[in-house]
Amino acid sequence: MHETREWLLGGLVLIPILCGGIMAARVPKGIRNLLIVLGGMTTIACSILLALGGTQRIALHPSLGIAGAVLEPLVGALVCWIGLRIRSRLICAMAAMPLLLTLASLLTGNWAHTAETVVVIDSLSLVMVLIISIVGGLITFFAIGYMDQHEQHSTPTAMDGGSFLGVLVAFLGLMNGLVLTDDLRWLTIFWEATTLCSFLLIGYEGSLESNNSARRALLINTFGGTCLAVASFVAERDGHGTLSSLLTSSALLPLALMAVASMSKAAQLPFQSWLLGAMVAPTPVSALLHSSTMVKAGSYLVLRLAPALDATVLGGIISLAGAFTFAAASAMSISQSNGKRVLAYSTIANLGLIAACAGIHSPLAFAAALTILIFHAVSKALLFLCVGTIEQTIGSRHIEDMGGILFKMPLTTTVAIIGMASMMVPPFGMLIGKWMAIEASVDNPLILLLLILGSALTIFFWSKWLGRITTASYHHKYTIEKVSIWMSSILLIMGLAVLTASLGALPIQRYVIKPVSLSFFGQYGTRTSLSLLDSVDAFLGWPLLVVLGAILISVLVGSALFRKSHIRLPYLCGENVDTPEYSFIFRSIADTPSMALLNSYYLSRVFGEQRIEMICNPIAILIVISLFGVIFQ
């Protein structure tokens, strides 16, 4: 079996990178699409095969270790060169760090420390690989249809569709590598490589705005990468070349550095700005970066660290930072009317939640984090794709412009409704995650408070949006959307996936997540948290099923009772104008018709983005600093 495993690894990491590489060479469209399907399918197939094989350690050829040691400074140099080209001294300086460190390790003499490079396939990495390959793969398929249309109405750029899609596919490989490797050097390499890819993807449009965003993304993530590089250097100096050995040690500095790295990648406060900037990129990029890859690297890392945080103050602070991010990002999203930005803030918030749970250090919390991670990946990818489709059709990503789309774009909107419902409605997965998270945090009052406030705030923006897309005028006859088969089929698949995953939320809980978290925590867990986990397990599934049934019956009964003849104009104080076109015009000043408009509330004076940033960013920075304060205590 050993051999097969290695091939699987190749399929997961190398094939996508290879496919991407070929595509970057401007191949014809047909071949390009073929390559995408090939790359995507291979990854999906390999990930499933890998998962079926269970957990295992695989030792690879030792030369890979040497290769890592060589590659690491090279990647650093590449970033450094880009930094020079975009004239950012800061990036240069930070990217030069790995070079210097390599030099330092050459001098100290523990260069190429490991005899063998190990790939650890444990339950966590399996879950990650599955998410990355399946969700990511589907997104790349979607991108085929999307970019077709996108290229039709946007000016061609330096990175035309071919190389763009190439980078997209290669990204999957890099991410898979990131979550599989146990070697700190390779981790750093993959980490930096994903940063580079995201830089290319965000800068795709070539406009001023996108260039700035790309640059910001590079800056922030290079900072994270540098932290990671320093962490790995320090760890190696102490003789821990691999993640697994590092985690068993009690070295705090590398842990803290890695936590910072994970925060920057997961766009936690105060690092959130790059993710918002990334919204300028075409929608598949946002979907990929936000749901299954990039940001999830941050969450992956912090989950990896979780067992080592064993009731340390460090864990508490990570948890606090996460919870704080959750509450603050939720608050900021209230004032957003741009659909993609709302999604971005919601992503940040949920990643915060994951970090908060990871820091709590209990099996229940870990299970909660994992649940959120999985369901978030699927739901968020779905939502991004929906917003992208909607934007292509109605030409706007503003929430207020999305009224009535249920009739214009029945398929996309239905899927979007499922996606949104899955973010906040029982019995969908996200809510179960949140539920577990709150129960898991009962012993940490501060974190609990932040979680409670945050989840109350999330209601605000989701319901606003959900209300808006289900709005329908009286009797609108719309021309129905036309969406390419690539896009519609993917939307459909993902919608069904969300539904089924939520249906199976409890079985997934019992058979997947609980074992994982036990395998990580079995020996550490405190009594109460274990019993809590059991109580989740003991929670009867029936209420969830009944809830789903209630939804179904309500929808059916409700729509069956409806008759067109029952339609009346809405109430406008008696001054309705019964024009055939609009149902919301009233006669006003001088008998002239006026349109009744009521947008949702954004409360920008209370929840304005800048206002909250001004308060929250400094606090977040203080939290990050205190992360280090703990070490030097």
Distance (Å, whole) CA 6 – CA 3: 5
For another protein, give the closer residue by CB, 292 or 371: 371
For another protein, give the closer residue by CB, 2 or 568: 568
Ordered DSSP codes for 446-459: HHHHHHHHHHHHHH
Confirm or reject binding of residue 568 to ligand SF4 (CB under 6 A). no
For another protein, give the closer residue by CB, 438 or 518: 438
Contact with ligand SF4 (CB under 6 A) among 2, 87, 477, 605: 477
Q: Which amino acid is at 343?
A: L
Residue 164, SS3 per DSSP: helix
Nearest of 136, 142, 183, 182 to residue 12 by alpha carbon:
136
Min separation Cβ 570 and ligand SF4, Å: 11
Scored b (16 or more CB within 10 A) or e, 380-389 reads bbbbbbbbbb
For ligand SF4, give the closer residue by CB, 476 or 587: 476
Confirm or reject binding of residue 581 to ligand SF4 (CB under 6 A). yes
| Residue 601 touches which of ligand SF4, another protein, none (Cβ within 5-8 Å per kind) | another protein
Confirm or reject binding of residue 474 to ligand SF4 (CB under 6 A). yes
For another protein, give the closer residue by CB, 3 or 581: 581
First to last CA, the chain: 48
Contact with ligand SF4 (CB under 6 A) among 479, 565, 592, 633: 565
- Of 340-348, 449-457, 468-476, 625-633: span binding ligand SF4 (CB under 6 A): 468-476
From residue 521 to residue 560, the character string flagging contacts with ligand SF4 as x (rule: CB under 6 A) and all else as - is ----------------------------------------
Half-sphere exposure of 529 (CA within 13 A, CB side): 28
Confirm or reject binding of residue 584 to ligand SF4 (CB under 6 A). no
Min separation Cβ 564 and ligand SF4, Å: 5
For another protein, give the closer residue by CB, 485 or 589: 589
Q: Identify whether the C-beta of residue 491 lies closer than 8 Å to the C-beta of residue 415.
A: yes
Distance (Å, whole) CA 315 – CA 175: 25
For ligand SF4, give the closer residue by CB, 582 or 628: 582
Binding residues for ligand SF4, total number by CB under 6 A: 11
Min separation Cβ 333 and another protein, Å: 13
Confirm or reject binding of residue 574 to ligand SF4 (CB under 6 A). no
Give the DSSP H/E element, type plus range, for residue 593: strand 593-595
Distance (Å, whole) CA 452 – CA 403: 30
| Residue 34 touches which of another protein, ligand SF4, none (Cβ within 5-8 Å per kind) | none
- Of 161-169, 270-278, 523-531, 580-588: span binding ligand SF4 (CB under 6 A): 580-588
Contact with ligand SF4 (CB under 6 A) among 473, 484, 594, 604: 473
- Of 333-341, 355-363, 388-396, 469-477: span binding ligand SF4 (CB under 6 A): 469-477
Confirm or reject binding of residue 57 to ligand SF4 (CB under 6 A). no
Confirm or reject binding of residue 564 to ligand SF4 (CB under 6 A). yes
Count of CB atoms situated within 10 Å of the CB of 330: 27
Q: Identify whether the C-beta of residue 421 lies closer than 8 Å to the C-beta of residue 296.
A: no
Ordered DSSP codes for 305-341: HGGGGTT-HHHHHHHHHHHHHHHHHHHHHTT--BHHH
For ligand SF4, give the closer residue by CB, 111 or 584: 584
Q: What are 27's strand-pairing partners? A: none
Region of residue 55 (left: phi > 0; alpha: psi -120 to 50; beta: else): beta
Q: What are 24's strand-pairing partners? A: none
Distance (Å, whole) CA 594 – CA 584: 9
Min separation Cβ 407 and ligand SF4, Å: 9
Min separation Cβ 533 and another protein, Å: 12
Contact with ligand SF4 (CB under 6 A) among 111, 582, 584, 628: 582
Distance (Å, whole) CA 623 – CA 630: 11
Give the DSSP H/E element, type plus range, for residue 580: none
Confirm or reject binding of residue 140 to ligand SF4 (CB under 6 A). no
Min separation Cβ 398 and ligand SF4, Å: 21
Q: Which amino acid is at 545?
A: L
For the segment 351-370, give every residue that binds ligand SF4 (CB under 6 A). Answer: none
Min separation Cβ 594 and ligand SF4, Å: 16
Nearest of 162, 192, 227 to residue 30 by alpha carbon:
162
Helix ranges (DSSP H) in 266-409:
273-277, 283-287, 295-305, 313-333, 339-360, 363-394, 405-408
Sites of contact with ligand SF4 (CB under 6 A): 473-477, 564-565, 580-583
